[in-house]
Amino acid sequence: MKQLITNYYIEAKTTEEKPICWITSGGPVEFLIAMGVIPVYPENHGAMCGASKIAVGLAEIAEGMGFSQDICSYARLDIGAATTGGGAIPGGLPKPDFLLCCNNICGTVVKWYEELSRIWDVPMFLFDTPFIHGSKPEHATEYVKQQCLELIEFLEEQTGKKWSEERFEEVALLSVEGVDLWKEVLTTAESRPSPFTCFDAFIHMAPIVTLRGTQEVVDYYKLLRDEMQDRVANGIGAVPDEKYRLIWDNIPIWYEMRNLGNLFAGNGACLVADTYTTAWAVDIRIEDPLTSMADAYTKVYLNISIDLMLEQLSALMERFSADGLVMHSNRSCKPYSLGQYDLARAVTERTGKPALIIEADMTDSRAYSEAQTRERVEAFIESLR
Amino acid sequence: MAGNALDRLMEMRADPYAWARSWKERTGGKVMGFFCCLAPEEMIHAAGALPVRITGENRDISEAAAHLQSYCCSLARSGLDMALDGTLSFLDGTVFLHTCDTMQRLSDIWRLNAGFAVHADFILPVRFESDSAWKYMTAELESFKEKMAESLGPIDDAAIGESIKIYNRNRALLAEIYDMRRKDPSVLPYDQALWISTSSALMEKKEHNALLEEIVADLKAHAGSAADARVPLFGVGSVMDQWDFLKMVEESGATFVDDDFCNGYRYFDAVAPEDRPPVEAIARRLWDRSSCPCKHTPSRNRGTCLADRAREAGAKGAVFFQFKFCEPHAFDYPHVKKAFDEAGIPSLNLEIEQGAVSIEQLRTRVDALVETIKA
């Protein structure tokens, strides 16, 4: 896995002929792969900076430029890194030739990418996926489908290459295969004890997010699935003496992953699934890739209403036989976090299982209290007894 | 100075929803709340209902704290609090527009907790350029019309056409007041001009028009006489509802000569083309109106557009007035500020939360800006 991601960044940094496109984590990367474009994910880089605890320093650079400390910390640290060449990749992320922003995860990315477009002086394509409060109207599907065609035109213009339907189908097939394998990996956590925790999934999700639609991803997840299935067959659990099974909601607290992992495991609690890594399990129907992609990219977890989230969250609780829910109230992410108070109550009402809400930020550790979190987690697990 | 009509409007400021409550009592009609100025009000008006804008208020949050985190903007928090504690009980329903992430989630939380009979989402595109976005927008507006007709009663095109005319007249009159103030700010204190525009979204438009006609006539009779020595400022932000702050600015020897607030200039900017079919006309106005940071319009640079407007209005300084935790405006601030810098217009950035505004602290900063400009 480390090799896979290292190779990917080495290629992105050294390529001379392949164009680079910065893309949001929920974006339709299959189009880029099919056109031979290298996708680069500022959010993935943000997670790396968070995990390696260099996020605050980078965010402060953006704050010095006038960006409020209250805006998304991924955006702040990325703007800080982009303008100084800093970050977790030596010399900074490779410069983009153009940008692909999909707002199915938040409206924040639109503002963030507009700023990137100014910083790098490169064009930006906004892939606009109308939010779903109840049912999705036909004209919304049509709008997104039309944008798939506009995106193809945009990519032809940017790369000077012709679009190949054949190549796209190959990529779509590989994407489906990769996604299916990733789902199989996640499914192994239904077993008791679970062979991995969501903290492992947060690490192993990088390829499905970034390189969906490539053979490397398929190969990688085949290996991972086999390994997890082996563990299940041999009754090997990720948490020794797994007593409680919990679901995680929201983006990880990247700088605190190890501590939190130890804290839960030390108390016999295994976080068996989460709403974050399942977000990349989008369904593409190969008979009609464009329509099904338009549909799948619009229906992602963060682009649906609280009631629809409740259905998915409750189903997740049931499917993984969870004893409780842990929600990260993430200062940086409003679409993920606003509504959690209502969701927590509704999940408890629906499933009878308790919920814990931790106040933090995904990469900005200045908004986080370790002692308070430890106390609350321990009390929560105590209450499960 | 303008007489009775202005006094009547100014009285409303102490209790902004009194007019809507008494209208409902008087007529038995339905009142529809909305947050964002991109709301297709004409459609609601054409159904015989009263569209009323909710912009939160200065208050300590109580019930809303169980639903919205403290890192959510005060506009959403205080608005929800008003819905939960009965302050907005005169509403029959609410319309939410797709603007920012907070409003999008507030719509769900509101629908699940506030208990109004009608709830509608108008999911605007975020791209405000391209044919596909335009097609989507008009289709969404058609479906919004159906939703409103189901909840409020039949809406025919002739009625929408009539409402469009009434709304366009309102926009023209508000624009005239702003025009007069650009030429001679002394005709009317800015806080009153902004309140006149704000109150337009709190009253039935025909009645508001009648008051505006009177106010405009009165102002015209007095316009252009005095030389105004105050420092002319330009205001940037979303909703500006801090009237004490605006009065304080005038005490500091300055006045706003124009703004981009969405209860100010952006509320009345652009008219719906009356020669087009009504749904298309409403969509066209929303599309052509000056840009909001929640909408993606790459061919229009918001920074230079605003700096140009400030210069044309003769502003010598600018005040960014932002709600804390408002991402769309906070993201735009550095590049818009840069455009003002490049235009030689010094500016001040004020981040506030409704209910937690310290006029004295702000006074020091406003005084400093005014001194810089004078020097």
Q: pLDDT means per 10 residues in chain A (385 residues)?
A: 86 92 94 96 96 97 98 98 94 96 97 98 98 92 96 98 95 92 96 96 90 92 96 96 97 96 96 87 76 90 95 96 98 97 98 97 95 96 94
Nearest to B321 by CA among B340, B355, B347: B347
Q: Is B342 on the interface with A (CB under 8 A)?
A: no
* End-to-end CA, chain B: 32
The torsion defined by the Cα of B82, B87, B92 and B96, in degrees rounded to 10, comes to: -20
Q: Tokens 């992602």 belong to which residue?
A: A300
Q: Which residues of A touch B331 (CB under 8 A)?
A: 67, 71, 75, 108, 111-112, 114-115
Task: State whether residue A103 is helix, strand or coil.
Answer: coil
Residue to mutate among B67, B73, B97, B126, with most A CBs inside 10 A, is B126
Q: Does the structural domain B26-155 have CATH classification 1.10.8.10? A: no
Domain coordinates of chain A in residue numbers?
2-159
Architecture of domain A2-159: 3-Layer(aba) Sandwich (3.40)
CB B307 within 8 A of CB B345: yes
For residue A63, count CB atoms less than 10 angstroms from its CB and return exposed for 0-12, middle for 13-18, buried for 19 or more: middle
Min Cα distance B78 → chain A (Å) is 15
**Cis status of the peptide bond prior to A354, with omega within 30 of 0:** no
Nearby residues of A140 by Cβ (< 8 Å), 6 or more positions away? A130, A132, A298, B123, B136, B140
What pLDDT does A2 receive? 80
CA B194 to chain centroid: 9
How many residues are recorded in chain A? 385
Q: Which residues of A touch B133 (CB under 8 A)?
A: 128, 143
| Cα–Cα distance, B253 to B363 (Å, whole number) | 11
Residue B48, CA distances (Å) to B23, B30, B89, B169 in order: 12, 8, 19, 18
CB B340 within 8 A of CB B287: no
Q: Tokens 């001379």 belong to which residue?
A: A16
Q: Which of B107, B331, B337 sits opposite A115 (nearest CB)?
A: B331
Q: Do A126 and B296 touch (CB under 8 A)?
A: yes
| Cα–Cα distance, B315 to A383 (Å, whole number) | 61
Q: Which residues of A touch B350 (CB under 8 A)?
A: none
**Nearest chain B alpha carbon to A110:** B296
Residue to mutate among A24, A65, A68, with most B CBs inside 10 A, is A68
What pLDDT does B1 receive? 46
Buried b or exposed e, range A341-361, using 16+ CB within 10 angstroms: bbbbebbeeebebbbbbbbbb
Q: Which of A68, A106, A126 sits opposite B330 (nearest CB)?
A: A68
Bridging pattern class, strands A20-23 and A38-40: parallel
Q: Is B296 on the interface with A (CB under 8 A)?
A: yes
| Cα–Cα distance, A9 to A3 (Å, whole number) | 10
Encoded tokens for A360: 């933090």
Say which amino acid occupies A281: A
- Say what angle helices A42-51 and A73-84 make with each other, to 10 degrees: 100
Min Cα distance A331 → chain B (Å) is 6
Q: Which residues of B touch A331 (CB under 8 A)?
A: 69, 71
Nearby residues of A375 by Cβ (< 8 Å), 6 or more positions away? none
Nearest to B334 by CA among A114, A98, A109: A114
Nearby residues of A23 by Cβ (< 8 Å), 6 or more positions away? A29, A32, A39, A40, A41, A99, A100, A101, A102
| Cα–Cα distance, A124 to A107 (Å, whole number) | 15
Element (DSSP H or E) covering residue B235: strand B231-237
Nearest to B257 by CA among B289, B235, B284: B235
Q: Tokens 């769900």 belong to which residue?
A: B108
Residue to mutate among B127, B143, B329, with most A CBs inside 10 A, is B127
Encoded tokens for A7: 């190779």
Nearest to B118 by CA among B11, B188, B5, B29: B29
CB atoms within 10 A of CB B291: 18
Say which amino acid occupies B351: E
Each residue's pLDDT expressed in tens, for chain B with a length of 375 residues: 457 999 999 999 999 999 999 999 999 999 999 999 999 999 999 999 999 999 999 999 999 999 999 999 999 999 999 999 999 999 999 999 999 999 999 999 999 999 999 999 999 999 999 999 999 999 999 999 999 999 999 999 999 999 999 999 999 999 999 999 999 999 999 999 999 999 999 999 999 999 999 999 999 987 765 677 899 999 999 999 999 999 999 999 999 999 999 999 999 999 999 999 999 999 999 999 878 999 999 989 999 999 999 999 999 999 999 999 999 999 999 999 999 999 999 999 999 999 988 999 999 999 999 999 998
Q: Which residues of B touch A140 (CB under 8 A)?
A: 123, 136, 140
Buried b or exposed e, range A65-86, using 16+ CB within 10 angstroms: bebbebbbbbbbbbbbbbbeeb
Nearest to A280 by CA among A253, A295, A301: A301
Bridging pattern class, strands A324-330 and B93-97: unpaired
Residue B170, CA distances (Å) to A383, B174, B212, B267 in order: 60, 6, 8, 10
What pLDDT does B30 receive? 97
Q: Do A338 and B126 touch (CB under 8 A)?
A: no
DSSP state, residue A37: P
Nearby residues of B177 by Cβ (< 8 Å), 6 or more positions away? B188, B193, B196, B197, B212, B215, B216, B219
Bridging pattern class, strands A244-249 and A269-274: parallel
Q: Tokens 């409780």 belong to which residue?
A: A324
The helix, strand and coil proportions of chain A, stated in percent and rounded to the nearest 5, come to: 55, 10, 30
| Cα–Cα distance, A122 to A119 (Å, whole number) | 8
Domain coordinates of chain B in residue numbers?
26-155
Q: Which residues of B touch A72 (CB under 8 A)?
A: 327
Min Cα distance B99 → chain A (Å) is 8
Count of H-run helices and E-run strands, chain A: 17, 8
Residue B3, CA distances (Å) to A37, B188, B208, B217 in order: 67, 12, 15, 10
